[in-house]
Structure 1
Amino acid sequence: MTGFERDFYEERRRKWRRSAFWRGVFATLGLLTALIALSVYFSGTPRFGDHIAHVDLSGVIYDDPLMDETLRMVEESDNIKALILTISSPGGTTVGSEVLYERLRKIAELKPVVSVLGEVAASGGYIAALGSDYIIARGNTVTGSIGVIMEYPDVTDLMSTLGINMQTIRSSELKADLTPYRKASPEGLAAEQDLIDESYQWFRGLVEERRNLSGADLDRVADGRVFTGRVALELGLIDAIGGVDEAEQYIDSLDSVAEGLPVDPYTPDYQESGFLGPVGKFLAKNGMLQRFSAQSGPRLYSIVK
C-alpha cells in the first residue's frame, strides 16, 4: 500500500470516528428527550403552555406544607390560567382548613378557582370550598356540617378501677385542664367552650361573607347539620350541580380565560425514596402520619361526625 493510500484510509477512519461520535451524541440527546417526555406524560407534570390546573384534595385535612407548596406553584405560574379543586373530605383540623382557605383566596385574586365537591365535602372540606369563586357538587354530595368540635377521651373511671392516680403540678387550674386523666372543672369546660365558640364564629363569618347569607338564612345552614348537594343549592351553599365537566364549561364561559385550555394535574410531591417510600407516600397522602401525631394533644376540628 502506498503512502497516499495509507493517508487516504486514515483520513476516512478519522472522519468515521468523528461522525460516529456525533451520531452517539445526537442519539443520546434524543433518548434523553424521549425519556423526559415520557416522564412528563406519565407523572402528570403540567405542560409548558397555558392550561388549567387540577388539584385533588382528599382525606382528612391537616396542615400540609406539601399541599400548600403545590397550591403556591399554581398561584405563581403564569401558564396556569385557572384552578379546578376537587374535594372529597369530611373535614379536619380548623388550622389545616384555614391554611387551605387562605391560599385559595390568594390564588383567586389572580385566576378563577372552581371547587368540585365529591362524595363528602363537609365541615373543613367546605371551608376549603369557600376559598373558591364557584362551587359545584353532585346532587347527593354530603356537604355543610358548619361547626367546630373538640373531643378527648375520659379514662378517669378506668384509672380509678385499676387504682392508678395521675399526679400533676400546674401553674394554674386552667393549664391543661382538658386531659383524659382528670375530670375537667366547670371553669375549664367554660374556657374550652369559649375557644370552640370563637372558632365557630370565624367559620360562620366565612359562610356569611363568601355565600352572602345572613339572618335566618345563615342560621338555617350553620347549625352543624349536613345537606345533600341539591338542598345545598337551594340554600345557597353551592352554585351548581355537576362535576369536573361542568367546572371546565364554567371556566370556558369566562372572558378572562381562553376557551378549550387543557387540564393538567398537580400533585403534592410526597417522598418516595427508600424501600418504604411507597408506604410513606401512601401514609402521608392519606393523612395517617398526621393522624397518629394528632393524638399528642387536643385540637380544634371542623369535621363531619
Structure 2
Amino acid sequence: MISEAELIVDRRRLKRSLTLWRVLAVLLAVAAIAALVWSGGSGRRFENHIARVGIDGLITGDQKTLDLLKEIEEANQVRGVILRIDSPGGTTAGSEALYDALRKVAAKKPVVAVMDTVAASGGYITALAADRIVARGNTITGSIGVIFSFPEVSRLLDTIGVRMEELKSGELKAEPSPYKPVTDKARAVSMEMVRDGYDWFTGLVAERRQLPMPRVQELSDGRVYTGRQALQVKLVDELGGEEKAVAWLETEKKLAAKLPIVDWEPRRSSTAGLGFSAADIVLRALGLEGLKAAAERAKLDGLLVLWHPAL
C-alpha cells in the first residue's frame, strides 16, 4: 500500500517532469519561429543558389535594400543574381545609390535584370546596373530623363488674402518658392541642376548600352517604350521572363544547371517580429493599400527620375 508521503513525492516528480517538457516545447516553438523568419522570411540558404531580389515601387535608396545588396555581394553561396524590377523610378540620388550598390555586386557575380510591368526612369537605371536586361514585350520602360517639380500657389494665396514675407541671405535661397511666381534666374538655376542630372543619366545609358551619345540623346526625350520597342532601339537585350535570365546565366556565365532560386528580402522591422506590419495588414484588409504608395510619392523631394502619369 502506497503511503501519503510517497504519493506526494510522485506528484512532485511528475510536476517537475511536466515543467521540463513545457520548457522544451516553448524552446522548440521559439526555434521553429526563428527558423521560419530567418529562412522563409528573408530567403537565406546556405547552399549554392541564384538570389532573386525584387525592386518594387518607389526607389529611394533605402538603407535596408542597400544592406541587403551588400550581404548578397559578400555571400559566397550566391552564384548569380536576378533582379525583378517593377518600378516607375523615384529619386535621382536614391537611384544612384541603388545603381552603385548593384555594380559592386556585379563586380563579383553575374546580375540579370528581368523587367516586369514597369521599369521606367529610375527603374531603368536599376536595370542598367545589370549585365543583361530581359523585358516582357509589353513592359513599360525608358522614360530617360530628370524632373524637378514644385508647387506655385501665389494666386491661391492672393485669393484668400494671405501674403508670405521672406527674409533670406541670398536671392536664390529657397528658390523656386511656392509663394510667388518663379523668377527667370531661379528657373535657369533649377534647369542647370536638371540638366546635370540628365547628363549623368544619359551617360549611364551610353556607357552600359554601348550606344553613341547622339543616339542616346535621340532616345532620351522622356518617352516610354514597350519592351518590343526597347529591344529594337537596343535599350534591352532580350524579350522574355525569368527563364531567359536563368538560361543566360547557365550558358554565358557557366552557372551550374538547376541551381535553386532563392528570394532575398530586406529585414523588416515589425510589431511582432514575425515579418509583418500591422498597418500594412489593416490597409490590405480595407482594400486601401494604394494609399501607402500615394503617401510615399507625396513625400518625394529633390530631383526625380520617375514616370508617374497617375500624379
**TM-score (normalizing by structure 1):** 0.84
Of 285, 295, 306, which aligns to 1:303?
306
The answer (yes or no) to whether the contact 1:126–1:143 under 8 Å persists in 2 is yes
User: For residues 83-141 of structure 1, what are the alpha-carbon distances to aligned partners after superposition, in whole Å with 9 as ceiling and x for unaligned?
Assistant: 11111111111011101100010000000001111111000100011010000000011
1:1-305 to structure 2, matched below 5 A, reads: 37-40=35-38, 42-273=40-271, 277-279=277-279, 290-294=296-300, 298-304=301-307, 305=309
The answer (yes or no) to whether the contact 1:61–1:287 under 8 Å persists in 2 is no
For residues 69 and 36 of structure 2, the distance between their equivalents in structure 1, rounded to whole angstroms, comes to: 24
Aligned to 1:10: none
Identity percentage over the alignment? 38
Match for 1:193: what amino acid?
M
For residues 258 and 126 of structure 1, the distance between their equivalents in structure 2, rounded to whole angstroms, comes to: 29
For residues 152 and 304 of structure 2, the distance between their equivalents in structure 1, rounded to whole angstroms, comes to: 18
User: For residues 2-48 of structure 1, what are the alpha-carbon distances to aligned partners after superposition, in whole Å with 9 as ceiling and x for unaligned?
Assistant: xxxxxxxxxxx9xx99xx89x969x7687666555555554252211
Deviation at 1:287, TM superposition (A): 5.6
For residues 91 and 32 of structure 1, the distance between their equivalents in structure 2, rounded to whole angstroms, comes to: 39
SS at match of 1:269: coil
The answer (yes or no) to whether the contact 1:60–1:90 under 8 Å persists in 2 is yes
The answer (yes or no) to whether the contact 2:202–2:217 under 8 Å persists in 1 is no
Please list every run of at least 4 consecutive aligned residues from structure 1 whose deviation after the TM superposition is greater than 6 angstroms. Answer: 29-33
SS at match of 2:58: coil
**TM-score (normalizing by structure 2):** 0.82
The answer (yes or no) to whether the contact 2:124–2:142 under 8 Å persists in 1 is yes
For residues 118 and 244 of structure 2, the distance between their equivalents in structure 1, rounded to whole angstroms, comes to: 18
The answer (yes or no) to whether the contact 2:53–2:84 under 8 Å persists in 1 is yes
CA distance 1:182–1:259, shift in 2 (3 Å): same
The answer (yes or no) to whether the contact 1:62–1:287 under 8 Å persists in 2 is no
Match for 1:302: what amino acid?
V
CA distance 1:92–1:34, shift in 2 (3 Å): closer
Match for 1:245: what amino acid?
E
The answer (yes or no) to whether the contact 1:118–1:141 under 8 Å persists in 2 is yes
Consecutive unaligned residues of structure 1, counting only runs of 5 or more, are: 2-12
CA distance 1:147–1:292, shift in 2 (3 Å): closer
For residues 171 and 52 of structure 2, the distance between their equivalents in structure 1, rounded to whole angstroms, comes to: 49
For residues 287 and 71 of structure 1, the distance between their equivalents in structure 2, rounded to whole angstroms, comes to: 23
For residues 162 and 31 of structure 1, the distance between their equivalents in structure 2, rounded to whole angstroms, comes to: 63
Match for 2:140: what amino acid?
V
CA distance 1:162–1:53, shift in 2 (3 Å): same
The answer (yes or no) to whether the contact 2:41–2:265 under 8 Å persists in 1 is no
The answer (yes or no) to whether the contact 2:50–2:80 under 8 Å persists in 1 is yes
Consecutive unaligned residues of structure 2, counting only runs of 5 or more, are: 2-9, 284-288
For residues 76 and 46 of structure 1, the distance between their equivalents in structure 2, rounded to whole angstroms, comes to: 13
The answer (yes or no) to whether the contact 2:110–2:253 under 8 Å persists in 1 is no
CA distance 1:69–1:243, shift in 2 (3 Å): same
The answer (yes or no) to whether the contact 2:127–2:133 under 8 Å persists in 1 is yes
User: For residues 170-227 of structure 1, what are the alpha-carbon distances to aligned partners after superposition, in whole Å with 9 as ceiling and x for unaligned?
Assistant: 1111111212111111011000000000000000000000000114422231111111
**The structure with more radius of gyration:** 1
For residues 139 and 81 of structure 2, the distance between their equivalents in structure 1, rounded to whole angstroms, comes to: 21
Match for 1:131: what amino acid?
A
The answer (yes or no) to whether the contact 1:253–1:259 under 8 Å persists in 2 is no
SS at match of 1:60: strand
Deviation at 1:244, TM superposition (A): 1.2
For residues 62 and 295 of structure 2, the distance between their equivalents in structure 1, rounded to whole angstroms, comes to: 11
